Amino acid sequence: MSTRIAKPAARMRKQPRQARSIATVEAIIEAGAHVLSELGWAGFSTNKVAEAAGVSIGSLYQYFPDKLALVEAIRRRHFDHVLSVIREAAADEKPLKQFARELVRGMIGAHSIHPTLHQVLLDEAPGDRGSRAAHASFQARYLEHYAAAVAQYRKRRKDTETMARVLSSAVEGVIHNAARRNMLDAPELQKQLIELICAYVSGQGVRV
Amino acid sequence: MSTRIAKPAARMRKQPRQARSIATVEAIIEAGAHVLSELGWAGFSTNKVAEAAGVSIGSLYQYFPDKLALVEAIRRRHFDHVLSVIREAAADEKPLKQFARELVRGMIGAHSIHPTLHQVLLDEAPGDRGSRAAHASFQARYLEHYAAAVAQYRKRRKDTETMARVLSSAVEGVIHNAARRNMLDAPELQKQLIELICAYVSGQGVRV
DNA sequence: CGAGAATATAAACAGGATACTCACATTCAT
DNA sequence: ATGAATGTGAGTATCCTGTTTATATTCTCG
């Protein structure tokens, strides 16, 4: 009980101990993210990942017991990243405009390396029974942060949760779509997305 | 030159002539849409489609020369549907609120049968060289309708195109996300989506 | 009715891709 | 220098895929 491993480190066949193997594992995860984003779940094969990582297939199976464990590792890394972005954007008490700006900037950053990874992870890639729980918890915390932000700029406590859902999926939709068209860093698109967020959150509730 | 076939009817091996075969083809396309939506492109195999359609694999190849031709037929049918929805919503000159309501209602309708078909068609499914053109033309007309609507409710002629892009992908994102969670017909979600549209389009341009 | 056309069937094929193992080679820490 | 850690990649076994084809059934129309 002296040393405690921070994270269960996903399901791994063995822990990398030397710097060499740590780099290998990192390369595999990175290459996996790349393949997943580029070829989708259909094109995601362990051999292809190993090749893209510049590593033999045997090395991959030295650390990851199977394909799913690898996907899980990729998922965890990406979700941690996204979560930190929204958490930081929603932290402190800042003007709405600034929140929107930081959110958009961060989200774009999180998607610009592996543009379609997020969607593939959400839509295509399966998960073993254990990762469903992790996935759900991610979604929950994700929404919580959005909800916190919405609540902060809204008097009406009413539809906070639904608003968070709508806002988050709208933002994701725009980012995802822009990523597909290689328009992630078009400045006028960023501006419009920020405006969308501000308009919706600060909206005076048009009667519908 | 007496009788004219309205649409090139996709790439087909032969035209169905009797009522029986027309029904068969329809069943195949419908089953294809179902499989595509349910299993994604990775799980989309001709044998599976034939089985889902309650038809032998041979019948499928009687009308569709190959897998891609089938996807193309599915794509065309779905896109025609979506296009008609947005076109009708943007038609005439109606108040913003009504436009938003009709758009949301129609989009939800177009997605409620095969919830994830749209995304799969856009993201996963490949297309032969010829269908890229059709795809692009669909996207263009799709955006045109959105742009027309935006222009109608906006004085500033400036960012119309970008706004159309942002708006359309935001709406798609919300719908897609709701579909994944089986929340497509939650009324409060519809209400919020309508509000999002109204707030953004009628927004007074918050200084960003 | 009946002949030929249209439509439907499903077994079979050929080929490829896949996840994963294993026996062995190399490099590290001490 | 020795054992542990790490890396290799050809090989295996399995499953699936798209597609053809020879045959059977049903329809159309004179």
Which has the minimum average pLDDT: A44-48, A122-126, B1-5? Answer: B1-5
Cβ atoms A59, A28 nearer than 8 A: yes
Q: What is the per-residue pLDDT for B6? A: 37
- A20 in helix, strand or coil? helix
Nearest by CB: B159 against A42, A122, A192: A192
Task: Please tell me the distance from the alpha carbon of residue A123 to that of residue B67, in angstroms, as a whole number.
Answer: 23
**In chain B, pLDDT over 90 holds for what percent of residues?**
83
Q: What is the per-residue pLDDT for A206? A: 61
A48 touches strand D (CB under 7 A): no
Over residues A138-165, the pLDDT tens digits come to 999 999 999 999 999 998 888 999 999 9
List the B48 CA – D18 C1' distance (angstroms): 12
Residues 6+ apart with CB under 8 A from A158: none
Over residues B112-158, the pLDDT tens digits come to 999 999 999 999 998 887 888 889 999 999 999 999 999 999 988 88
- Domains held by chain A: number: 1
Q: Please name which of B6, B189, B168 lies closest in space to residue B82, comparing C-alpha atoms.
A: B168
- Inside any domain, residue B207: no
Instruction: Enumerate the nucleotides of strand C whose atoms come under 7 Å of any protein CB.
Output: 6-12, 17-23, 27-29
Over residues B17-57, the pLDDT tens digits come to 999 999 999 999 999 999 999 999 999 999 999 999 999 99
Q: What is the DSSP letter of A5?
A: -
List the B5 CA – C10 C1' distance (angstroms): 33
Q: Is the pLDDT of residue B13 over 70?
A: yes
Q: pTM value?
A: 0.91
- Inside any domain, residue A93: yes
Q: What is the per-residue pLDDT for A10? A: 74
Task: Please tell me the distance from the alpha carbon of residue B91 to that of residue B146, in angstroms, as a whole number.
Answer: 11
- Inside any domain, residue B208: no
Q: Do B171 and A171 touch (CB under 8 A)?
A: no
List the A80 CA – D18 C1' distance (angstroms): 41
Average pLDDT in the B85-93 region? 94
- Inside any domain, residue B145: yes
- Inside any domain, residue B181: yes
Query: What sign for the dihedral angle of Cα B80, B83, B89, B93?
Result: negative
Q: Is the pLDDT of residue B189 over 80?
A: yes
Q: What is the per-residue pLDDT for A208? A: 58
Q: Is the pLDDT of residue A92 over 60?
A: yes
The pair of structure tokens assigned to A200 is 């919706």
Q: Do B208 and A101 touch (CB under 8 A)?
A: yes
Q: Do B198 and A205 touch (CB under 8 A)?
A: no
| Host domain of residue A41 | 19-202
- CATH classification of the domain holding A163: 1.10.357.10
Please tell me which residue of chain A has the smallest CA distance to B100.
A208
Strand D, CB < 7 A, residues 36-75 of B: 43-48, 57-58, 60-61, 65-67
Task: Please tell me the distance from the alpha carbon of residue A9 to that of residue A13, in angstroms, as a whole number.
Answer: 11
Average pLDDT, chain A: 92
Cβ atoms A117, A36 nearer than 8 A: yes
- Torsions phi, psi of B65, nearest 5? -65, -30
Please tell me which residue of chain B has the smallest CA distance to A192.
B163
Q: Do A124 and B166 touch (CB under 8 A)?
A: no
Residues 6+ apart with CB under 8 A from A34: A52, A114
Over residues A8-39, the pLDDT tens digits come to 567 899 999 999 999 999 999 999 999 999 99
Q: What is the per-residue pLDDT for A203? A: 83
The pair of structure tokens assigned to A132 is 């469903």
Q: Is the pLDDT of residue A99 over 90?
A: yes
Average pLDDT in the B50-68 region? 97
- Inside any domain, residue A48: yes
Please tell me which residue of chain B has the smallest CA distance to A187.
B162
**C-alpha triplet B12, B14, B18: angle, nearest 5°:** 120
Which residue in A169, A180, A188, A197 has the most chain B C-beta atoms within 10 A of its own C-beta, making it the best mutation to test that interface?
A: A169
Cβ atoms B46, B68 nearer than 8 A: no
pLDDT bracket for residue A207 (50, 70, 90)? low
